[in-house]
Chains A and B, each alone.
Chain A
Amino acid sequence: MTAKHTPFTIAREALYYAVMLILSGVFVLPFIWSVSTSFKPDNEIFSDTLVLLPEQPTVQHYIDAFTTVPFGRYLGNSLFLAVIGVISNLFFGSLAGYSYARLRFRGKQSLFRLQLISLMVPGIVTIIPSYIILRSFPFAGGNDWLGQGGSGLLNTYWAIFLPGAAGTFAVFLMRQFLLTLPSELGEAGRIDGCSEFGIFWRIYLPLCLPALATLGLFTFQGSWNAFLWNVIVLSDPNLATIQMGLQSFTFNNQTDYGPLMAASVVATLPMLILFILAQRYFVEGISFTGTK
């Protein structure tokens, strides 16, 4: 890159920024448009002229969305599931990842390989058997010890939480990160008489903060945006999550764009805020999984 400002380089830079602005528009305009629509009264949404900002802004669509459908409840349900999912994956993922990266035990290589190969199996293959397994969980939901008679863990949050509580991706990501930390730290801890758990918890885990942040964000995103599995295992409307609520709302209000956009904004906002606060960890996390 030369610092010379010839007319040619200035024109080239201007062209570059013009292209980038247009591309940014392609990626961001749908959001801006949906936010703007959510604040427009109906006559402006369906007007013949193209106006970006609402002339008479209204929050009526938000009131409609929240009063016809319990979106507040859905938000709470999704938030609860996402938070416990994150905590569980951070703890069990890093615990197993630490063990695979730094401890020696019988069968380690084969166990790790087995878990890794399973990433190849598409989710659709395991959906039906997992449903049956949850349905016939012994002693749960009116089931006897053989898992018969009741609905098992279906229609409980266990059905969403358990299958993903210590995901293979979490284990893999944490293992990869822990391999980059020096093993001498653990040796020093052992000489000082630390227990194996103490070495993990007090020495290695605090050093994993960047990886934990990335994993936490990915887990939150996966949980917040989950749809099909939730539809399959939850039929009680009181337990429904935000994406289920949004989808059924969409289905019932095909052309009511005001409330629809208000609901989409509400369903997107928590993830968006999280992303803006922590965008560094998202981007670093993706590159990390791709290069290692």
Chain B
Amino acid sequence: MVAETPASSRLLVPRTADRKHGSPFRSENVMGLLFVSPSIFLFLIFVLLPAILALVLSFTNYDILTPIEFVGFRNYERLLRDTLFFTSLRNVAQYVVLFVPLMIALSLGLALLLNRDVPGVRLFRILFYIPVITSPIAAATIWTMMLHKDFGLINRGLALIGIDGPTWLFDPDYILLAIVLVTLWQGVGSNTVLYLAGLQGIPRYLYEAAILDGAGRWQLFRFVVFPSLRTTTFFVLTLSLTGAFQLFDQAYALTGTGVGNSTRTPIFHIWETGFNRLRMGYASSMAFVLFLLIFAITLINLQLNRRQAEELG
């Protein structure tokens, strides 16, 4: 069997002499495809096909019960007048604006604190990571009690320093802050680990050279550490942004849709439209708009980072 392989992969793996002979089950070309086929098969049915179907469905009135009809752009036109959908987008935008910068600052700060070779630091790393492995639903349940107006630990703590805490989950002014708090608490540990890996990848000579040049602690951070972590920051930023726009579990379990829809998220709205009211065509158009929004923001993020990389490089 003569296999045509691209030049690039031929460079990666040296060719051996007896590869051309033998039964088909010794052939790389057949076995290679066979080995990836279960994963590719599931990928086609549950990722690629659904992604294409989602676009098709968004131009239909599909609702399971009545015959499917193409409706052109009517779903998208209706979307422009859907105040609840816009409310959900505004809610999640407010959340993203608060959550993402705090996430970057806190995970980087914690990583700097943990990037030392002193006794106990391993234990601290483990403790900071525990909320990450907790399920969002269990975390939200625990926090409904933590944030209780009278018996919650937060307000009891605030009372000790003479502050009368708010009702958190029932106060439109604080509900978003509560969700930011809980999701930060849950998510910061994993990004801290990413930053720690980034910090440990900075070569020693960079620090030494900067110190020789008379750099202080702040200058060391500003001109050596932070620029060296640019790739990590980009990665954390991308993950946090795409994750934050898909906020659902914690917001739903903490407050449902909140007072006056103040915590209705796009995911919740799509879920409700598609599965409670069965307007699956319409819900697909929402899902697509959300996808395009996330995609656009990721592209902008990439573009901004490239420019920065060029300036610095």
Contacts and interface: CB of A to CB of B under 8 A. Distances in A.
Interface in A161-178: 162-163, 165-166, 168, 170-171
A282 B287 contact: no
A150 B23 CA distance: 44
Given A34-B142, A282-B133, A124 B267 contact: yes
Contact of B31 (A23, A124, A196): A196
Contacts of B51: 118, 121, 125-126, 129
B294 A122 contact: yes
Nearest to B253: A247
A38 to B, nearest CB: 10
Interface stretch (B78-86, B185-193, B207-215, B303-311): B185-193
Contact of B39 (A19, A171, A286): A171
A118 B291 CA distance: 12
Interface stretch (B8-16, B69-77, B97-105, B219-227): B8-16
A207 to B, nearest CB: 17
B277 to A, nearest CB: 12
Interface stretch (A25-33, A56-64, A138-146, A208-216): A25-33
A242 B135 CA distance: 10
A227 B139 CA distance: 13
Contact count band on B: 35 or more
Contact of B284 (A26, A128, A267): A128
In the complex, which range does the number of interface residues on chain A fall in? Answer: 35 or more
B205 interface: no
B246 A104 contact: no
Given A92-B39, A99-B36, A118-B48, A283 B125 contact: yes
A227 B247 CA distance: 13
19 contacts: A1-B117, A24-B124, A31-B130, A34-B142, A50-B156, A96-B39, A99-B35, A103-B28, A105-B3, A108-B32, A115-B39, A162-B42, A165-B42, A196-B26, A228-B249, A246-B137, A246-B138, A267-B135, A287-B193
Interface of B: 3-6, 8-10, 13-14, 16, 18-19, 25-26, 28-33, 35-36, 38-40, 42-43, 45-51, 53-54, 57, 62, 110, 113, 116-118, 120, 124-131, 133-146, 148, 151, 153, 156, 185, 189-190, 193-194, 196-198, 201, 232, 235, 242, 245-246, 248-249, 253, 266-267, 270-271, 274-275, 280, 283-284, 287-288, 290-291, 294-295, 298
